[in-house]
Amino acid sequence: MTESVIQVDVPDPKRLIAVLQFLAELGQVVASNEFLAELGQVVASNTEMQPILDWIVSKTTSMLGADEGSIRLVDPGPDAGGGQTFIRKPAAGHQSGSWPRPIAMSVMGYLIHQGDHLASPDLLADDRFSGLRGLESRVRSILAVPLKIENHVTGLLAVTQAHPGRNWNAGEIQLLSIVAGNSAGVIEQARLRAEALEKQRLEEERRRLERELDLARDIQMSFVPSRALRIGGWEVIGRVVPARQVGGDAFDYFMVEGGRLCFAIADVSGKGVPAALLMSNVQASLRAFCDGRQTVPDAIRHINQSVARSANGKFITLFYGELEPDGRLRYTNAARGRAAARPVRGRRVPAGRDPARTG
């Protein structure tokens, strides 16, 4: 019986370690190149910032096999730890949401001051963050790296585990750092583009609103007489200059049967569009009820009942008068202050002492 002997060469442990390290580094290069290629496609196909952030978070979480990934962007201003967090949307059986503020402030503050990565198997038991002890959070094992633009920290990219104990190795730290380094510029460009689009939208909205207000002003001015009214020895003319494009001030004058000259001055409390809308109701009611076929008190009573239904807590002051051909004036004064008549030549003559008087 023949016995066969096979000799197996045992590789040098140092060489084996070197080969494994090479394969790991090669895997990181492949993963980072794949990430960059896909990132370029995502940026090219999206004009908004949110889809880009969502993709970066989702891709990073998948590459590192983490429970959750997040991007936190720093807001400009004194609150360096403040900002906005974008977290992978929850999947079936997985909870997600914003970090507790103490964790967000602590991690962001650490990255800003250290300028390097943060790797912790248990953030809540880490001696560097003693203030987080006892806090309940699903953020336990964490690997976070800063997002930098010209050595200025603009945010962070992080992956986390809901349970403690994951020890992040050098390859994972390097891979996340590469991803963050290539993502920071893209995120900043997306942010600037989003800000420019929002600024453009607000400017277009402002111009649209101004056009609408100018149109509303033209409509409101069409409700008041544009030319003087002359009858006998009397002449009536008025002008309204709103504090804004539109307002609650108005006047009117017109003739009714019997040769009577009717005129009114009114003011709605407040300014702007709400006051203008209510005043348009007053002006329409004046023309509807002050037609010369009912007494002044009855006409004003009907106007008050009509307008009160849409006043919404606002009040209106009004002076309304009807001038007879023989010079007699019948009027009502609803909180407009004491009225007075001033002849072209002569002294100022009070038109009545009682503001509610009809004479």
CATH code of residue 122: 3.30.450.40
CA distance 136 to 83: 21
Give me the number of domains the chain comprises. 2
- The pLDDT assigned to 235 comes to 86
Domain boundary among 178, 196, 214: 196
- The pLDDT assigned to 352 comes to 43
Helices (H), the chain: 13-45, 49-63, 101-114, 170-222, 272-289, 296-308
Which pLDDT tens digits describe the chain residue by residue (359 residues)? 556 555 544 454 544 344 334 344 444 555 666 776 777 777 777 777 788 888 888 888 888 889 989 888 886 544 444 444 555 544 444 444 578 889 989 999 999 999 899 999 999 999 999 999 889 888 999 999 999 988 889 899 999 999 999 999 988 898 899 888 888 888 888 888 888 888 999 999 999 988 888 887 787 777 788 888 888 888 888 888 777 677 778 889 999 988 899 999 888 887 777 777 888 888 888 888 998 888 999 998 998 888 888 777 788 888 999 998 888 888 888 876 665 555 545 444 444 443 334 44
Shared domain for 260 and 297, answered yes or no, is yes
- Burial grade of 348 (CB within 10 A; 0-12, 13-18, 19 or more): exposed
Residues sharing a CB contact under 8 Å with residue 266, sequence separation 6 or more, in sequence order: 249, 250, 251, 279, 282, 283, 286, 316, 317, 318, 319
- The pLDDT assigned to 168 comes to 93
Shared domain for 187 and 284, answered yes or no, is no
In a domain, residue 359? The reply is no
Q: Which whole-number Å values give the CA distances from 339 to 252, 266, 295, 304, 321, in the listed order?
A: 17, 13, 20, 20, 11
In a domain, residue 356? The reply is no
Shared domain for 293 and 257, answered yes or no, is yes
Shared domain for 149 and 236, answered yes or no, is no
Residues sharing a CB contact under 8 Å with residue 47, sequence separation 6 or more, in sequence order: 193, 197
Shared domain for 126 and 62, answered yes or no, is yes
- The pLDDT assigned to 157 comes to 93
How far does CA 80 lie from the centroid of its chain?
Answer: 22
Helices (H), 46-155: 49-63, 101-114
Q: Which two tokens stand for residue 82?
A: 């403040």
- The predicted-structure confidence for 101-111, as pLDDT tens digits, reads as follows 899 899 999 99
Shared domain for 242 and 337, answered yes or no, is yes
- The pLDDT assigned to 2 comes to 58
N residues, the chain: 359
- The pLDDT assigned to 268 comes to 85
Domain of 255, in residue numbers: 222-350
Shared domain for 179 and 302, answered yes or no, is no
- The pLDDT assigned to 163 comes to 93
CB 147 within 8 A of CB 156: yes
Q: Give the residue among 319, 206, 204 at the shortest CA–CA distance from 262.
A: 319
- The pLDDT assigned to 86 comes to 52
The radius of gyration of the chain's CA atoms, rounded to the nearest angstrom, is 39
Question: Which residue is listed with tokens 């002359």?
Answer: 230
- The predicted-structure confidence for 205-253, as pLDDT tens digits, reads as follows 999 988 888 887 787 777 788 888 888 888 888 888 777 677 778 889 9
Give me the CATH number covering residue 275. 3.60.40.10
